[in-house]
Structure 1
């Protein structure tokens, strides 16, 4: 599948795809620490930690497109079995988005980021207010006493991580959420078939030497 064919496929899946070509990749490397994006020790991860393709997911809990794509993303990560998923909380839509990201990242300290992330992503609609987010987190089964303690104890680290995610998104020139870095290219909203094709294309390009790392 050549680039033109893949662009047509992505468009058919409802995705706007921006490929990082080899020359552009070299220019990108001058301004962006790729290792920091792919391997931030504070960024939550899921999937296979030794996967052959990494998906970096820039997301916002008030983004309806993020919510729409979330089930297909989870499905492809589970079914593929060789995908490493890195979450980049990028709360750009509202103050409540920041609050949701803080709750999810605080849950990471008790190993329950996934639980809270999925609870927040499961809230229907957009512009979700803080009380509704908090209710969803409480109902997720997470230890709220521990979460509140971690939110207080690690507030500086959480804020620093969110700022780092913002800086990375800006350095990459991202336009909004969701944005997925998949292997050597980036794309916006995808459905299940789109993710499947994107992973196949990423593996082909990585085999050809077009790697982000």
Structure 2
């Protein structure tokens, strides 16, 4: 009798437990289905749709990227300037205008056939007039064709007759085609000994100066003219006299 009762009790318990589990299963919501993974095409579509809705984000990202690249390039240039300043700032064979013993140095890379360089010539001369302590190193950088090379060789040869500044200004102030005939006519008009000039144009110092300037420009990533350099950095292109003044002021502050 006790065995039957125990079996009946266990059977009832199992039924009750099964009912409870069944009731729980019936009242618990089914799990959400796992969404399919996004494909690369899905992601592209989402991004494209978002950028189409907010195009300014693209412009801002490009500008930020360019700013970072320019900053990195400027830092790299400044490191190069610091490492090579003795060569950049002028050695004995480099022409110098202004005050050779000046307290601050401005370096200009230029080409005689460059219109922007011609535009800067009166600004440079005015700067020399107003700042008697500026020393300007002239880096002949003839990149605009064979006539530019002839002009640079003539100017460097004129330096050997102590007529560099006069010939430089005359070449820069020439209007019209600056071909070989015009270049030699300018040199003759400045009273140079033409036989000596033609010989000096092939002087090893002239070759070395032009080669060194090309190497420096490559190291500093200078691709056009004019380009102005102080110890503090490079400023490319034709700039205002006030910009040149600011460059000199900053360089002087750095020298102090």
* TM-score computed with the length of structure 1 as normaliser: 0.78
How far is the alpha carbon of 1:28 from its aligned partner? 1.9
Q: Which has the higher contact order (CA 8 A, sep 6+)?
A: 1
The alignment partner of 2:160 has SS state of helix
Which residue number in structure 1 is paired with residue 107 of structure 2? Answer: 56
Conserved 8 A contact 1:65-1:177: yes
Which of 133, 137, 142 is the aligned partner of 1:86?
A: 137
What CA deviation, in whole Å up to 9, does each residue of 1:38-86 have, x standing for no partner? 1321111111122121011101010000000011111102210111110
Q: How many residue pairs get matched? A: 186
Equivalents in 2 of 1:121, 1:54: separation in Å? Answer: 21
Query: How many angstroms apart in 2 are the aligned matches of 1:28 and 1:131?
Result: 39
- Change in Cα spacing, 1:34 to 1:20, as seen in structure 2 (3 Å) is farther
Structure showing the higher helix proportion among its residues? 2
Q: CA 1:181–1:150 in 2, change beyond 3 Å: closer, same or farther? A: same
8 Å Cα contact 2:85-2:231 kept in structure 1: no
The answer to whether the Cα contact below 8 Å between 1:185 and 1:202 also exists between their aligned partners in 2 is: no
Give secondary structure in 2 for the equivalent of 1:77: helix
Q: Distance in 1 between matches of 2:72 and 2:92?
A: 24
Residue 77 (structure 2) pairs with residue 28 (structure 1):
no
Q: Using the alignment, how far apart are the partners of 2:161 and 2:250 within structure 1?
A: 36
What's the counterpart of residue 142 of structure 1? 192
Match of 2:183 in 1: 133
Residue 112 of structure 1 is matched in structure 2 by 163
TM-score, reference length from structure 2: 0.66
> 1:98 Cα deviation (Å)?
0.1
Native 8 Å contact 1:116 1:142 kept in 2: no
Residue 177 of structure 1: which of 222, 225, 229 is its match? 225
Question: Could you tell me how far 1:24 is from its partner in structure 2?
Answer: 3.8
Cα distance 1:104–1:20, how it changes in 2: closer, same or farther (>3 A)? farther
Cα distance, 1:29 vs structure 2: 5.8
**Within 2, Cα distance between the matches of 1:29 and 1:179?**
13
Measured in 1, the distance between the counterparts of 2:81 and 2:112 equals 29
- Change over 3 Å in CA distance of 1:22–1:102 after alignment to 2: closer
Unmatched 5+ stretches in structure 2: 1-69
Structure 1 range deviating more: 60-69 or 134-143: 134-143
**Structure 1 residue 191 displacement after superposition:** 2.5
Task: Please tell me the root mean square deviation across aligned C-alpha atoms, in Å.
Answer: 2.4
Question: What are the ranges of 5 or more consecutive residues in structure 1 without an aligned counterpart?
Answer: 1-17, 208-213
Displacement of 1:182? 2.5
2:78/2:232 contact within 8 Å kept: no
Q: CA deviation at 1:33?
A: 2.5
After TM superposition, which residue ranges in structure 1, 4 or more long, deviate above 4 angstroms? 18-23
> In the aligned structure 1, how far is the partner of 2:106 from the partner of 2:226?
12
- Correspondence for 2:234: 186
